[in-house]
Amino acid sequence: MALTLTPRDEAMPERDQTADLVARMSQDVDAVFPEVVERYGPTLYTTALRVSRQPADAEDLAAEALVRAYRALSSYAPRRIRRLRLRPWLVTILLNHWRNQLRTGSRRPDEVALDRAGPVASTDSPEDAALARLGSGQLADLVHALPETQRIAVVLRHVVGLSYEEVGQVLECPVGTAKSHVSRGIAALRSRLSNDQEDRQ
């Protein structure tokens, strides 16, 4: 059976919230910025935690992204602020900062062990059984092991709940391409889960 996936965070309400936020922020960045931190802190922290391979640095990455966003906003004209797509813009700042850090070698990616699945047997479908055995830490490891673009696409779409349009903006690609990055990422996760199940049978 094929189900059409409904995004859990429909694009419209988020868009309305953002429109309201940027409209007020174009009048007074200082007054509204604390709200930006509160509303998007979890999005940025989760993205940092699930995309970077340095969970311990997730808070620093998210905080640095917000500080950079604040500096940029303080220098933008009101018109420019009103045109911002706030959520993908913030995520883009986060990811650029993360890539810069990797490039300058100040932090090195550490490989994540993928062989930590527990030994519990199950009678459900192979993938469900594998999922049931996996702790969330182990699913996070599988996500970490995806190629970078797929990893970002899957995390943004299915963990943080961005729309495909927003994922496309972050990845600087058309919506269709964003969708295929997401679905290839999901397929890769599924096949790893199946392999994992076969290994134990």
Partner 1 sequence: MSTTIDSGDRALVQALEGLRATPPAGFTERVLARVGPTPALDEFVVVDGPSGPLFVAFGAEGIRHVIAADVVDRDPEAFVARHRERFGRSLRPASAPPAGLTRALESGRGRALRFDLHGLTEFEQAVLRKALEIPPGEVRPYAWIAREIGRPKAVRAVGSALGRNPVPVLIPCHRVVRNDGKIGHYAFGTAMKRDLLAHEHVDLDRLEELGRTRVRYLGSDTTSVYCFPTCRHARRITAAHRVPFRTAAEADAAGFRPCRDCRPEPARQTA
Q: How far apart are CA 100 and CA 104, in angstroms?
A: 6
Q: How far apart are CA 91 and CA 69, in angstroms?
A: 10
| Contact track, partner 1, 99-138, x by CB under 8 A | --------------------------x-xx--x--x-x--
Among 22, 26, 32, 152, binds partner 1 (CB under 8 A): 32
Question: In whole angstroms, how far apart are CA 192 and each of 14, 115, 150, 157, 186?
Answer: 33, 11, 14, 19, 10
The answer to the question of residue 167 lying near partner 1 (CB under 8 A) is no
Whether 31 contacts 24, CB under 8 Å: yes
Q: How far apart are CA 153 and CA 158, in angstroms?
A: 8
Among 50, 53, 133, 151, binds partner 1 (CB under 8 A): 50
Among 70, 72, 102, 149, binds partner 1 (CB under 8 A): 70
Among 54, 92, 149, 180, binds partner 1 (CB under 8 A): 180
* Locus of tokens 């004209």: 77
Q: How many CA atoms lie within 13 A of 170 on its CB side?
A: 33
The footprint of partner 1 (CB under 8 A) covers 1-5, 8, 24-25, 28, 30-35, 37-38, 41-42, 45-46, 49-50, 58-59, 62-63, 66-67, 70-71, 125, 127-128, 131, 134, 136, 139-140, 143, 154-155, 158-161, 176, 179-180, 182-183, 186, 189-190, 193
